[in-house]
Amino acid sequence: MEIERKWVLDSPPSGFEEHRSQRFEQGYLAIDPAGAEVRVRRKDGAKSVMTVKTGSGLVRGEEEWEIANFDALWPLTAGRRVLKTRYFIPLDGETVELDVYEGELEGLLTAEIEFADEASAQAFVAPDWLGRDVTEDKRYGNRVLAVEGLPS
């Protein structure tokens, strides 16, 4: 299970570029309107994984494994892709994953924090710089962004 909250930022925090980062190429092979998705992701042009997620919102099912055939699967994701650089920023014992989007989503900044349990996620008080909580707003899910683009 994945327990995660998500925010949309107006601007990145000062010094974010000094933190460790990874560039992601992410495409969706299958998207079920009920919430299931199958995606492929390549990190920094090297490590590739396939992920199956179910559900939406704060708590979701997630299974992930490494794959060797990213280049063969990538063309199948045309029209359903997200390109972004993720910065890993420590915050009060947690890690903020700040995503800076490229291409058609350029200008969008989101941040996610994965929590050990629902109680921790609910109790977390976000600093102002994290912006607006969009955990339950499906328009900001990467799968929706990949297909529909920026929310209006």
pLDDT band at 151 (very low <50, low <70, confident <90, very high): very high
Which class is domain 2-148? mainly beta
For residue 87, the tally of other CB atoms under 10 A from its CB is 20
pLDDT digits (tens, 9 = 90+) for 56-114: 888 889 999 999 999 999 999 999 999 999 999 999 999 999 999 999 999 999 999 99
Q: pTM of the predicted model, to two decimals?
A: 0.93
Boundaries of every domain in the chain: 2-148
pLDDT digits (tens, 9 = 90+) for 110-143: 999 999 999 999 999 999 999 999 999 999 999 9
Catalytic status, residue 87:
no
| Residue 39 Cα to chain centre, angstroms | 12
Residue type, 67: I
Q: Write the DSSP assignment of 102-134 as a string of letters.
A: -GGGTT-EEEEEE-SSHHHHHH----GGG-EE-
Pick the catalytic residue: 28, 87, 101, 140?
28
Q: Is the dihedral of CA 18, 20, 23, 27 positive or negative?
A: negative
